[in-house]
Structures are given as structure tokens and as C-alpha cells.
């Protein structure tokens, strides 16, 4: 009989530090595009301040709404460079983390926090410039009584996140890329950046019309064959 997976999975493969370094040079928007416009968390999960950025392997945590016991456990287990990715069930009735926990995360070398839930002490977190992405704030504190899971797949912002996946966030939001797909997407990301730079240069020279527009409008039935704008 197969043994059940424990609630706390202590060891899992992470996306490598080298791939994190390479991928972090690209915007989340670029990574989402080359990943097939997949992996972007729901826009309700946003940077606490627009300047905040993060990138690293996902350290996944699942909690019951309003309880942060397992987040404390995760902080004790996470490795430097990890991003805590917390399934807080979208609850906004209580903050799951605040200044004390964020200060500890920073001291531990954790790269940032992505939480489908609320945080508090936003001004102090802003001052320490620790990257936090959440669904909002609430001054109410959490309980520390209910078990959960660590190192299991979680659903955060409508996206399934596996432990060790690549997580990247900026002012636009957060994108998650499967660990085993990241390396293959890097050449595509480089090409997309180059193509977009070339297109922007064309626009600045006055070539503002999109070459594909008329054909797309015909395919959509807006223009008849032979017509153009």
C-alpha cells in the first residue's frame, strides 16, 4: 500500500540559481507571453508598492484562512533565495503576515512573498523595501492554531504552483513558470525582447501601422476580402 505524502515535504527540486539569474532579467510580461500567455496570477495579487520586484524558486505553503501557523514553519525551512508562495484562500478578513515576519524573511535571505491573502504593517514593509505581493491589507491579526501543508502544489491567484517552480513579479503582477520548462523559454524571451525593441524603434520612426492588422480584421469578418483600413 502506497504511503501517503506527509503534510510537510522537506525536499524538492528547485529551479537552479543560474536559471533564476538568467530569467530574472526579463519582465514577467515577457515570460508570460513566451509561456503561451499562461502562468500569470490573477490581478488581485499585486505588489505592495509598484517598485517591488522578486524572482526565485517557489516555496509553497497552504494555510487555512486567517491562520499563519504553517507560514512560520515554512520560514524555518526555506532556503535563501526562495520565494514564499502562500495559498491563503484569497481571505482578506485578517492579515497573515506583518512587519515581524517580513523582517525575519529578509534576515533569512528569502527573496520575497507572494500571498493569496492579506498582509499588514504596509508602511513599515515599504520602508524595509522587502518585496511583497498580496491581495491587500487588513489590520486584523491571524491565529496560529491550524495545520496546513508545505511543499505541495498550491493554487494561488488561479494558477497551480508546484514547489521549485520559477516565480517572478513586478508592478504588472506575478508570473509562474514550470521548473522544467524555464530553460527552454529563455531563448524565446530574448527573441521577444529583441523583436519588441525593433518594433518600438519602427514606431518612433513613424511606422505606427501594424502589418498584421488588415489580415486579422479580414479573418475576424470585419473587413471584406480586398478591403483595407
CA distance 133 to 88: 12
State residue 166's pLDDT score.
Answer: 98
For range 18-45, the mean pLDDT: 97
**Same structural domain, 60 and 76:** yes
- pLDDT surpasses 90 at 227: no
At residue 70 the predicted structure's pLDDT band, cuts being 50, 70 and 90, is: very high
CATH number at residue 152: 3.50.30.40
**143 plus 211 within the same structural domain:** no
Residue 109 covered by a domain: yes
- The band of 117, judged by pLDDT with boundaries at 50, 70 and 90, is very high
**Average confidence score pLDDT of the chain:** 96
For the entire predicted model, the pTM comes to 0.94
Question: Averaged over 209-222, what is the pLDDT?
Answer: 92
| Pairing of the two strands 166-170 and 54-62 | antiparallel
Mean pLDDT for 113-125 is 98
pLDDT band at 1, cuts 50/70/90? low
Which domain, by its residues, includes 201? 187-219
Residues 104 and 151 in one domain: yes
Q: Are residues 117 and 208 in the same domain?
A: no
Q: Are residues 107 and 212 in the same domain?
A: no
- The count of structural domains within the chain is 2
For range 198-226, the mean pLDDT? 93
Model pLDDT for residues 90-102, shown as the tens digit of each residue: 999 999 999 999 9
CB neighbours of 207 closer than 8 A, spacing ≥ 6?
none
Q: pLDDT band for 11, please (50, 70, 90 cuts).
A: very high
Amino acid at each position: 500500500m502506497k504511503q501517503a505524502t506527509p503534510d510537510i515535504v522537506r525536499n524538492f527540486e528547485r529551479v537552479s540559481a543560474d536559471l533564476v539569474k538568467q530569467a530574472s532579467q526579463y519582465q514577467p510580461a515577457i515570460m508570460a507571453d513566451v509561456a503561451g500567455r499562461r502562468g500569470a496570477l490573477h490581478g488581485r495579487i499585486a505588489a505592495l508598492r509598484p517598485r517591488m520586484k522578486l524572482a526565485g524558486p517557489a516555496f509553497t505553503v497552504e494555510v487555512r484562512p486567517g491562520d499563519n501557523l504553517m507560514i512560520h514553519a515554512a520560514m524555518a525551512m526555506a532556503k535563501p533565495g526562495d520565494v514564499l508562495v502562500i495559498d491563503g484562500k484569497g481571505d482578506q478578513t485578517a492579515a497573515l503576515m506583518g512587519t515581524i515576519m517580513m523582517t525575519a524573511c529578509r534576515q533569512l535571505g528569502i527573496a520575497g512573498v507572494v500571498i493569496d491573502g492579506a498582509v499588514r504593517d504596509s508602511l513599515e514593509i515599504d520602508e524595509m523595501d522587502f518585496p511583497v505581493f498580496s491581495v491587500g491589507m487588513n489590520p486584523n491579526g491571524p491565529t496560529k492554531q491550524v495545520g496546513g501543508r508545505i511543499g505541495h502544489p498550491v493554487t494561488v491567484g488561479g494558477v497551480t504552483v508546484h514547489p521549485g517552480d520559477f516565480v517572478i513579479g513586478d508592478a504588472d503582477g506575478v508570473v509562474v513558470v514550470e521548473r522544467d520548462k524555464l530553460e527552454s523559454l529563455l531563448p524565446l524571451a530574448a527573441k521577444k525582447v529583441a523583436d519588441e525593441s525593433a518594433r518600438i524603434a519602427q514606431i518612433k520612426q513613424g511606422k505606427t501601422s501594424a502589418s498584421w492588422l488588415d489580415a486579422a480584421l479580414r479573418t475576424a469578418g470585419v473587413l471584406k476580402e480586398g478591403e483595407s483600413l
